[in-house]
Amino acid sequence: MIDLRHHVVSLVAVLVALAVGVTLGAGPLREPVEAVASSADLQERAETATAERDRARTAVAALDRAAATLAARAAAGSLEDSRVLVVALPGAPASQVARLSETVGAAGGEVTATLRLGQAWVDPARAPLLSSVAAQVEPLVADGVAPADPVLLGAGLATALLAPPAGEEAPSSGTVGTVLGLLTGGELGALEVHDGEAAPEPADAVLLLAGPVDDLAAAGTWVDVVTGLAARGPVVVAEDVVPVAATGVQPPPEAASVVVQLRRRAAEDPAGPLGHVSSVDTLGAEVGRWSAVLAVAGAGEGRHGGYGLLDSADGPVPATG
C-alpha cells in the first residue's frame, strides 16, 4: 500500500508540474503573442503555442486518469461494511454527486441516503425561519453543541442520520422523524433514502459535497453546519475549489470557498470539532473522487487531513494506512 500511495503522489506531483506549463501556455505568456500576431510568422507562433497548450492539457488529463486508477486500487475494499451519508450543498452538480456515490460503492461502502440542502440555509432573508427551526431542534441534540443556529441544525441532522458515538443511545424513531420533518421539508432540503424506507439506516460517516458559494458569509455558514455534523461523527468535505491546475493561482484566505474557510478555521483551533474534519479540494478531478473516499476510510480509523493541490493541503492524496 505504501508503494502504491507513493506512485499516486508522484503522478499528482507530475500533474502539478504539467499544470504550470498549461498555465504559462494559456495565460500571460500566450496573450501578448496573440495580441501582436499580425504577421504570418507571429501567427504561426501563436498557433504553435496553442497546440502545445492543448497537448499539455491532454497530458494532464491522462495523468489524472492514471493517478485515479492507482487510487482506485488503493481504495478497493477500504469502505467495506461502512455506511456513508452523502450531503450535497447548493451548486454541487448532480452528476458529481452521482459519481461520488458510485465511487463509495466501488470502495465497498453503502450510501444510506443523499441529503440535498437548500439555499435557504444561507439566505439572510430566511434567518428567522432557521432560528425557529433551530429552537425546535436544540432540545433534541446532545449537550455541548454551540448554540449558533447553523451549528445546531448541523447537529440535528447528525443526530437523525448518523450512528451514535460509542456508549451513547440511539435517538428514538420519534426524535428522528421530528428532526427530519423539520430539516428536510420545503426550502431547507430534500432527503433521498436509497433503500426505499421511510428513514435511512444510521450512517458511519458524512461525505459532504460543497458547491460554489456567493460570498464569505455563506461559506462561513456552511462551515458552521459542518461543525454541527462533526460533533456527532466523522465528516469529509469535498469541493472543486477554483482549480489551481487551471489557473496557477492559489485562492486567498478570504476566498468564498467552504474548503478554504474550513481549513482556515481548523488551523485556528486544531483541537476543536473542525480539527477532526478531513477535506479534499480537487473533487473536479478523477483522482479527487478517490481521495474523498480514501479520506472517509481514514476518518473512520482516526486519520484526518486536508488533501489536494492548495497550499493548505497536507498532501495530494490521503494515506492508506
Where along the chain do its domains lie?
A: 2-72, 79-307
- Name beta bridge partners: 199: none
148 pLDDT more than 90: no
Rounded mean pLDDT of 188-198?
Answer: 72
Q: Which of 89-98, 103-112, 194-203 has the lowest mean pLDDT?
A: 194-203
CA distance 231 to 193: 23
35 pLDDT more than 90: no
CA distance 172 to 179: 11
Rounded mean pLDDT of 29-39?
Answer: 48
CA distance 234 to 162: 9
Rounded mean pLDDT of 199-228?
Answer: 93
Q: Which residue has the cell 441532522?
A: 157
Rounded mean pLDDT of 222-243?
Answer: 91
Which pLDDT score, from 0 to 100, does residue 5 have?
Answer: 55
CA distance 293 to 245: 21
Specify which of 70-79, 160-169, 175-184, 207-216 reaches the highest per-range mean pLDDT: 207-216
Q: Which amino acid is at 188?
A: L
Nine cell digits for residue 136: 425546535
Quick one: CA torsion of 94, 53, 31, 246, rounded to 10 degrees? 30
Q: How far is CA 39 from CA 34, 49, 207, in A?
A: 11, 15, 54
Of 58, 2, 3, 12, whose CA–CA distance to 291 is shortest?
A: 12
131 pLDDT more than 70: yes
Q: How confident is the model at residue 56 (pLDDT cuts 50, 70, 90)?
A: low
64 pLDDT more than 50: yes
Convert the pLDDT of each residue in 72-99 to its tens digit: 776 778 899 999 999 999 999 999 999 9
Of 250, 278, 256, 251, whose CA–CA distance to 266 is shortest?
A: 278
CA distance 278 to 263: 9
Rounded mean pLDDT of 145-174?
Answer: 86
CA distance 226 to 229: 5
Q: How confident is the model at residue 307 (pLDDT cuts 50, 70, 90)?
A: very high
Q: Which of 31-40, 161-170, 268-277 has the lowest mean pLDDT?
A: 31-40
Rounded mean pLDDT of 288-301?
Answer: 90
